[in-house]
Each structure stands twice: as structure tokens, then as C-alpha cells.
A and B are shown apart, each in its own frame.
Chain A
Amino acid sequence: MNLEYLDKFSDDFSEYTELRYQKNRNLRITLLNGDVVANTRNHSSGISARVYAGGVWGFSASPETSEADVRSVIRAATRNAQFLDSRENRNAMPLAYGSAQGYHDFSTIQKRATPKEMTAFLREIDNYLKKSYPDVSARSVTMANLDMEKALLTSEGSRAYSMIPRALLIVSLTLDKGEGPVDLYDVYGGFGQYEDNFGIAEDFYERLDQLYVKLKAKAEGIYPEAGEHDVIMDADLAGILAHEAIGHTTEADIVLGGSVAGDYLNKEVASPLISLTDFAHTALGVQCPVPVFVDDEGTEAQDVPIIEQGILKSYLFNKETALHFGFAPTGNARASEYSDEPLIRMRNTAILPGKDRLEDMIASIDHGYYLVKASNGQADTTSEFMFGVVMGYEIKNGKLGKALRNTTISGIAFDMLKTVTMVSDEMSWSCAGMCGKKQAIPVGMGGPAVKCRINIGGK
């Protein structure tokens, strides 16, 4: 569907209105121990309208997109807003923030691969794993692709189209040395479609070898000593920390919901070594994993410097919370499916690199841990967080020692960030971040390695 089709309905807007067409194309193929246990496509598309009246919202969505259906959705959303407005009587100010235009189509320019070619690629990967590592007791190879296409027209004059793709290869291996199974996974790919990321299995063999070597080390690994320790959190964990433990507390709707960050604006919340930004589309001159140019309210997306040299500088806003706090909207309103309303979401959140070398950071620790890979993460409005750690190493006398079995780290992020004493000079992005705030949506998370004190689980 193109923007010209949406233009037909601009005369149907009687209040502040956002009209959005969205199509999500998901592909998932999974080989489990060589069997194709999933080979599915899911195409979900439709139209939604969101209407603002007097300080409340109405929303409606339908998969049908004929002219009559679109008009019906606009009417239903308007009725819903008026239903609430007539009962709540808030008489809020209108949302007048101007308009933005954008057209960003990141569809691959290469010849599209067929389903058979994709399955053959996965089969090659699986065959390599089976042949190279006969002691692996279980292996899973998954292709998970998402193309998110959006067209937006608003009553304020915003018109934007985007097609943002992501293609992931997820490999998980399990080893059982008689002491219970031990597993490890890695994810490859990222921004772009299948053709931009994959196609030649051989290109991944070296990285699969590295995954196996780490798994072997983990199978012979130890559990960390429970308690507070000096640790180095590598980029994967720094990124999830930036997103889960800090980023969420600074989303303006969460601030209104009681987040501890509500009391910290312009206060010192971290070591002066820490700067943290939610990037819209480009970071340090390079395109981010999840570029956002115009958000789903029709606001041009801006970078948000959340923490600058340890000082909390800004929250993330949509139009409504920007009006509440007296700031400008930052372009953080995003919806996951056509039937979802835009929420305040991070885009690409990262701690910025420092000046230290990773080797020097490891050498500076007598007894501690180097934590490399996270599984999942959770945090709450107090900034207390928990991350699963699936790969790491002990550090003894400044050198890496044995690998670690699965563990968990936790802490109060705004306290923990004050203990940061070193930040590495290189950063990297996680290619597969998903944020689960009401609606699951792709995000970018990144950072350098960070040396800090942290509470670690164990036995």
C-alpha cells in the first residue's frame, strides 16, 4: 500500500488523527537435530487509526483495507475517543507539534532467494555442525526474518513510508558430558533482508567453530562465587544494561508511572565516564541496527542524550508526554503491529565508548569475572535489574581463567553505574534485540566493555 492511497482519507479526519497502514512479514525456519520442525511464514497487515480528543485517545484497527473499511476504522477510533472524552472531560491542550516527511525503503536490491535456497543454506549450516562436532547432543538452527513496512498519514500533515528489515540466524548447541546438559547460543545477521546477510554457509564456519570452543569451555566451567565482585561487562551486557536498566526508567510514560528517574533529571546518576544515548538512526557516523527516521506519531526522530558524563539529561518523549513535561517530542513513539498503538520505545540505546583497552581492564582485576553474553534481562522502575549470563570467564590475577556456567547478575543500575572505573575504547551492537514493553518490537542495544562492581548469582 502506498502513501497516495492514505491521502484519500485526509478529509475524513475530524480530530487529531494518525492513520497507519502496516505489514509485518515474518519468516521462521527451524532445524532441530536436523529435522525441519518449523517452516512457516506469517504475513500480518492492516490499517489502524488513532484519534486524540480533549486529552484521551481512541484507537481502532482492521485487517481489511478497502476504502469503506479504512473509513470505518477512522470513524470507530473517533467514536472511541469521543466516548472517553465525554466521560473524562479533561479539556487538555491539543497536540500541535508540526509535521515530518520521510521515505526509507531498505528492501534488498539483490535477487530474492527462494524458500528452497534458504532451507538449503540452513541445511548446510546444520550439516557442518553435525560433521564437525559429533559430541554435540542437540543442535538447533533457526532463520528468523522480519520485514516491517509502514505508511503513515496524520492530520498534522506528516507523511512517511518505511520498510525496515531484519534477518537473523540463531544457532544453539548442547553438550552433555554426563553432568547435565550445557547449552550456548549465538545470533548472526541483523539489519537487512536474508540476501543482505546470508547465502554462503562457509562464511559462518569460523564463527560456529568459536561458538563450539566456548561451549566446550563452558561444559568444563565453574559456577561463580555468589556475592558482589569486580566484573567487566562486555558489549552485549552493557547494551542490555543501557536498554533495560536505564533506558526504560527514562521513558516519559514510565516516569509518570513512578520511575525513580523522575527525581534525577540534571542530577549525577553515574560515573563521569558514562554517557548513554538513544540514537534515532545513525550512531558515530554509522547506521544503527533499527533506524527510525519518522516515528509513528509523525515526529522526526531525534537522538536523545540520556546521560552525559554521568548527568541525567533527558527522558524519551512521545507527543503527549512532551506536552506534559514541556519538552519537544523526540520521535520515540513506535508500534509493533498494525493493530498496536504507538508507545514510547527506545530505538538504538548505547553506552558510548571510553578510552581504556579491554586488555588493561582485565589486567586491572585480581579476582573477578569477565561477563560476555546475556540471555534475557529484566528491570523495574527502581532501576533494579537482573540479567541472565550464559557466557563468561573468571579473572584471576589479571588473567582470564575458567569459563562460567549459566549465572545471573543483579544490581541497582543508578548505583552500579557510579562504580564504573573503566570503559573500553570499542563498542559493538547486538543484532537481535527485542523489547517486550506491552508489544514486542526490535531495538538496537550496544556499548563498550565496562568495569564495575556487581552482584553475581552462583552457588
Chain B
Amino acid sequence: MKMSYEKSTEILNKSCHSLEATGAEKTACDLSHSMTHELNVDGGEISLFRTIFDTELTLTVIKDDKKGTMTTNRTDEDSVRETVRETYDIALSSEKDPAYDISEKNTMRKEVAGDGPDADRMYERLKEFTSDVKAAYPSVILEQAILDYKVLTRHYKNSNEADLYHERGFYEFTVMFSAKKGEKSSSFNFADVTMNDLSHPLLEAGGVKRLIGEAPHLIDTKPFPGKCIGEIVMTPECLLDFIMFLSSHLSDRAMITGTSFLKDALGEEVASPLVTLKSLPLDPSMAGGYAITQDGFPAENLTLIEKGVLKSYLLSQYGAAKCNRERAANNGRFYLLEPGRDSMESMIRSVKKGLLLTRFSGGNPGENGDFSGVAKNSFLIENGEIKNGLSETMISGNVKELFRNIKAVSAEVSDSGHSRLPWALTDQITISGK
């Protein structure tokens, strides 16, 4: 059973009263509950059905500018009392920082009912998916696929009279696959989508069909010929990886330590004018989006970069206080990059020598933004045409420069439910093969 609003209110009220009784100046209680129904495919066959219930109660105490936080998944009275005591002890053991704070007074109650769980419907869709893949792509092996329906509730209250409640239900589908012919096989790849309902076949969701369809063409691969400074066309999936790298430089850790390469760039051009990047957790078409920030504020949609100009960081209340900047309207993710005017076909036609980069498998970029890694599930582009699949091909560059050098953004977008992104062409990437 999902946790009702009344039940979460009862648990939070008890927790809040117990926290306030400690004499701490500022306290917060954050209760999350999840109900998951999940079907698993292993080795191409539906093999496991899971139902899981979980609860997470996070208590925060700020006493004399010292902060302690503790999370438990037990909400009975004895456990809550013990957690309150431990949280208070943790706070006392901590050190003073005037930047510690809790969110202001706010009230919100938002419920977005999903259409599940319906185990029969989920089973039918997953069975249809495995059959569709077998029929259309016989060389493809479904290593694993997971379809789940989640109902998540989050209820946040604090001593400033903030009282925020959000419930949402949505489906998630992830699939990991490769293609095999004789002893040869492609690299594995994966696709993940979120959905508000199961009205369409899973193969048609987001980039699932495109990515699975490419796998048979990646069984026979060759290394990139030689080494060059070239262009890459990033798929939406790959672009999301680089957006995540970029967003880490807009967030607390890099900003507080001053190691972000974007630390003084607010209002400045940090990307090509073709780049407008938004984080839209409240967009109804973004399934599973959040309405409450991690630090207990109502979330808002946010424009991070507009026509290449940095408009906002992703700072929490604490990060904003430490950096003397404004708190961000949300915590990022659920990204939309505005589509451009070029067709994907024309973008590829414009590349003399480069890659269609589907997946980047690399080390985390250094603090200066330098990255290097392997081009996985990718294709050689030569004289405007997609040629063979690639193996043993490495790329390196700099995240900051990668966004500055974007020369074209496609009109086509891939909607994965948790992001809506186009293809993008960038250059000045070192490509090395054999």
C-alpha cells in the first residue's frame, strides 16, 4: 500500500514535536515512501516479479549553528525517539557554520495520480516487448530489462512551518542489450525511459527502438583510422552525459571549493548561442519529476543557459549562503535542450571526418573539464556519410570547450520522459584509433 497523506502527517507531526522538544532552534523532518512493482527480464525471458515498500525518514537538527542529519527507515515511536536523540547528538558533535539553515514557511500539496499498478498490463507490455525484439532484431540479446511502476510520496515539514507534500506515480523502463553473431558480439548498450502510462509499446518509447536497431550494425567494427582533431555528432543520450558533467560544475561542491570552471561566469557566454538548456521537473510530460527541492523548497522550472549565456547555478540553500549567491529554483535533472533548425541528416552530411557518438565511456572529467574515454556504440562518419561501427576508439577534449564549440543542434529530439534532447554537432575533439 502507498502511504496516505494522513499517515505521513501523523508520522511527521510526532517526529517534529519530538525534535522541537530537544530545544534545537531549527528542525526539519523529511519523509519519503515508495511502493514499487517491478518485472525483470533476464537473458530474454521474464524471470522475476518484485513488490517493494520502503520508507525513509530524515531528521535534521540545527543547534547553535551546528547541524546533524540522520536517516532511518523505521517510523515506529521507539525508532523515531531513538533517531531524534541520535540526530541531536550528531548536531552537538558537529561544528559551527552560520550557513546552515532550513527552508522558509511554505505550504503545498500536490498529487499526480498514476494509472498503476496493473501487474497484468505490465506483464503484457513486457512480453510484447521481448517478442517484438525477437521478431525484428533476431541477433539482439536482451541481457536485462526492467519495467517498474513506482508511487513516490514525499512529505517535508520544518520548524519554520514549511509543509510540502508531493505524490506521483510513473513507470520506468530500462533495457540492456547487445547483438551477437557466431563468436562476435557488439558492445552492450542500454536505454532508459520514464512514462506516465503504458499506452504505447515499450519498443516505441524514447530512443529504445533506435538504439536496439543499431546494435546489429555494431557487431563488425573497426578502430577509427589513425588520429585527428575531428567533429562529433552527439546523440541525445550522449549529450545528456555531458550535460551532467556540466551541471556538476554548477553545483555546491565545485562552487564552494571554487574549483568550478564556471564559478564567475553568471551572465556570461559559456556555450554556443545555439544552446538553451532548461531543467523542467514540473513539466507534466516529464514523468516522475519532483516538486520539492532536496532542501525543502517548492521546486520551480529553471533556465540554466539561454542562447549560450549562463543564467543560473544549481546551488542549494547552503551552497548559496557559502558562495554568497542566489539559491537555484531546483536541483537540476529533467533537462530540455531547445531543438535547433538543422536536420540530423544535414548535420551528418556536413562532417568530413568524425564520429556519431552514441555512448561515452570515460573517466570523470578533471576539475579543469578535461575528459578522455572510449567512443562506445559509435559510428565513423566520413565525407558526410555514416560508415562502419567503431571499436577501440578513444576521444578526448574539454567539457567547457565542447559546449562552446557546438556548431549545430538538430530539429529532431528524443523524448525519454526524463529528458528531451536533440542531437548536437561539436568539433575540436581528439579522436584516436589504430
Contacts and interface: CB of A to CB of B under 8 A. Distances in A.
Please report whether the interface of chain A is mostly helix, strand, loop or mixed according to DSSP. strand
A33 interface: yes
B367 interface: yes
Interface string A390-419: 100000000000000111101110000000
Interface string B37-52: 0000011011111111
A341 B48 contact: yes
A180 B399 CA distance: 13
A173 B391 CA distance: 35
Given A35-B97, A386-B363, A455 B90 contact: no
- Which of B46, B95, B141, B179 has the largest number of chain A CB atoms within 10 A? B95
Nearest to B74: A63
Interface string B73-87: 110000000010010
B318 interface: yes
A304 B56 CA distance: 38
> How big is the B interface, by class?
35 or more
B24 interface: no
Given A174-B259, A181-B259, A260-B185, A80 B368 contact: no
Contacts of B43: 253, 256-257
Contact of A119 (B94, B141, B179, B366): B94
B372 A408 contact: yes
A375 B364 contact: yes
Contacts of B187: 380-382, 384
B185 A381 contact: yes
B183 interface: yes
Contacts, number: 251
B89 A115 contact: yes
B26 to A, nearest CB: 15
Given A119-B94, A407-B372, A408-B372, A457 B394 contact: yes
Contacts of B95: 35-36, 119, 123
Interface stretch (B63-71, B151-159, B283-291, B409-417): B63-71
B70 A41 contact: yes
A57 B48 CA distance: 5
Contacts of B73: 43-46, 63
B367 A181 contact: yes
Interface string A113-144: 01110110001000000000000011010000
A35 B183 CA distance: 55
A228 B434 contact: yes
Interface residues of A, number: 83
A217 interface: no
Given A174-B367, A260-B185, A32 B253 contact: yes
A114 B93 contact: yes
Contacts of B227: 226-227
Given A181-B259, A384-B187, A408-B373, A57 B47 contact: yes
B396 A380 contact: no
A76 B374 CA distance: 44
Given A39-B69, A257-B143, A386-B362, A458 B396 contact: yes
Interface in A77-108: 80-81, 83-84, 87-88
Contacts of B55: 63
Contacts of A455: 392, 394, 432, 434
Nearest to B219: A382
Given A63-B53, A386-B373, A42 B71 contact: yes
Given A56-B46, A408-B374, A183 B259 contact: yes
Given A183-B367, A410-B394, A457-B372, A115 B49 contact: no
Contact of B257 (A123, A138, A227, A405): A138
A182 B71 CA distance: 34
A45 B362 contact: no
Contact of A459 (B71, B362, B430): B430
Contacts of A263: 183
15 contacts: A35-B99, A42-B70, A42-B71, A63-B54, A63-B73, A115-B68, A227-B432, A256-B43, A257-B143, A257-B188, A258-B188, A388-B373, A406-B363, A455-B434, A457-B373
Interface of B: 42-43, 45-56, 67-74, 83, 86, 89-95, 97, 99, 119, 123, 127, 141-144, 176, 178-180, 183, 185-188, 227, 252-253, 256-259, 261, 318, 322, 361-364, 366-370, 372-374, 376, 391-392, 394, 396, 430, 432, 434
Given A88-B46, A254-B143, A256-B42, 9 more contacts: A40-B71, A41-B69, A43-B74, A44-B56, A84-B123, A137-B257, A181-B366, A380-B361, A389-B363
